[in-house]
Amino acid sequence: MEIMIATETVTLSGFSFKPGFAALVEGDAILAATSGWECNSKMFVYRPQPDGRWGGRLGK
């Protein structure tokens, strides 16, 4: 696994990454993504759902 940080606007696996967005990547698969938005020291993380949509929640 590796962390990818977008340097330009790009759409991968149905998720639109803007500069500064980050993703957890394994091979060609994006396992999780974040825009960096946080609240009370918790970061909002998006994950691909079984139906192909991206869903998110605040991480712990």
Q: Could you read off the pLDDT of 29-58 as tens digits, one per residue?
A: 889 998 777 778 777 888 888 888 888 876
- CB–CB of 43/37 below 8 Å? yes
Domain that holds residue 39: 2-58
Burial class of residue 33 in the structure, from the number of CB atoms within 10 Å of its CB (0-12 exposed, 13-18 middle, 19+ buried): buried
pTM of the full predicted structure? 0.70
Burial class of residue 49 in the structure, from the number of CB atoms within 10 Å of its CB (0-12 exposed, 13-18 middle, 19+ buried): exposed
Min mean pLDDT across 5-9, 20-24, 36-40, 56-60 is at 56-60
Using alpha carbons, select from 43, 14, 41, 10 the residue that is nearest to residue 29: 14
Domain count for the chain: 1
